[in-house]
Chain A
Amino acid sequence: MNKRFKIILLQLLTPIVAILFAIALSSVLIVAIGKNPIEVYQTMIEFSLGSADSVGEILFNATPLIFSGLAVALSFKMGLFNIGVEGQYFIGAFFAAFVGFTLSGIPAFIHLPLAILAAMLGGVLWAFVPIYLKVRRGVHEVISTIMLNYIAYSLIHYFIADLFMDRNQKVPEGLGSPLIRTPHFAETALMPKLHGFLSFFGIDLPNSVYLNWFFVIGLLLTVGMYYLLWHTPFGYEIRAVGSNPKASEAAGINPNKVYFKGFLLSGAIAGLIGLSHLLSFYGYMDLDFPKNFGFNGIAVALMGNNNPFGIVLAALLFGFLNRGAEGVQTFMGVPMETIVIMQGIIILSVVVAANILGRYIKRLEKKEA
Chain B
Amino acid sequence: MGDIMEMLASALRMTIPVLITALGAIYSERSGVTNIGLEGMMMTGAFWGAYGALHYGPVGGFLLAIAMGMLVALIHAVVTVTYRVDQIVSGVAINILAYGLARFFSIALFGMATTSPSVNGLPKIDIPILKNISVLKPIATDISPIIILGILLVFVTYWVLEKTVFGLRLKAVGENPLAADTLGVKVIPYRYLGVIISGAFAGLAGAYLSIEHTHMYVEGMTQGKGFIALAAMIFGNWMPYGSFWASFLFGFAEAISMRVVQSKVVPYQFIKMIPYVLTLLVLAGVVRKAQPPASVGIPYSREGD
Residues of A within 8 A of B (CB): 29, 32-33, 81, 83, 129, 133, 137, 139-140, 142-144, 146-148, 150-151, 154-155, 157-158, 161-162, 295-296, 298-299, 302, 335, 337-345, 347-348, 351-352, 354-356, 359, 362
Contacts and interface: CB of A to CB of B under 8 A. Distances in A.
Interface residues of B, number: 46
A352 B297 CA distance: 17
Given A335-B103, A343-B100, 18 more contacts: A29-B104, A137-B283, A142-B34, A143-B279, A143-B283, A147-B227, A147-B280, A150-B273, A154-B269, A295-B92, A299-B96, A337-B103, A340-B103, A342-B100, A351-B85, A351-B90, A352-B83, A355-B83
Contacts of A359: 305
A137 B104 contact: no
B101 A341 contact: yes
Nearest to A298: B92
A150 B39 CA distance: 13
B41 to A, nearest CB: 13
A154 B272 CA distance: 7
Nearest to A348: B93
A11 B231 CA distance: 37
A351 B86 CA distance: 8
Nearest to B296: A140
A27 to B, nearest CB: 13
Nearest to B103: A337
30 contacts: A129-B280, A139-B280, A139-B284, A140-B283, A140-B292, A140-B297, A142-B88, A143-B283, A144-B283, A146-B227, A147-B227, A147-B279, A148-B280, A150-B273, A155-B273, A161-B269, A296-B96, A298-B92, A299-B96, A337-B103, A340-B99, A343-B100, A344-B97, A347-B93, A348-B75, A348-B97, A351-B83, A351-B90, A355-B83, A355-B85
B185 interface: no
B131 interface: no
Contacts of A151: 273, 276-277
Nearest to A132: B284
Nearest to A342: B100
Contacts of B280: 129, 133, 139, 144, 147-148
Interface in B58-115: 75, 79, 83-86, 88-90, 92-101, 103-104, 107-108, 113
B234 interface: yes
B57 interface: no
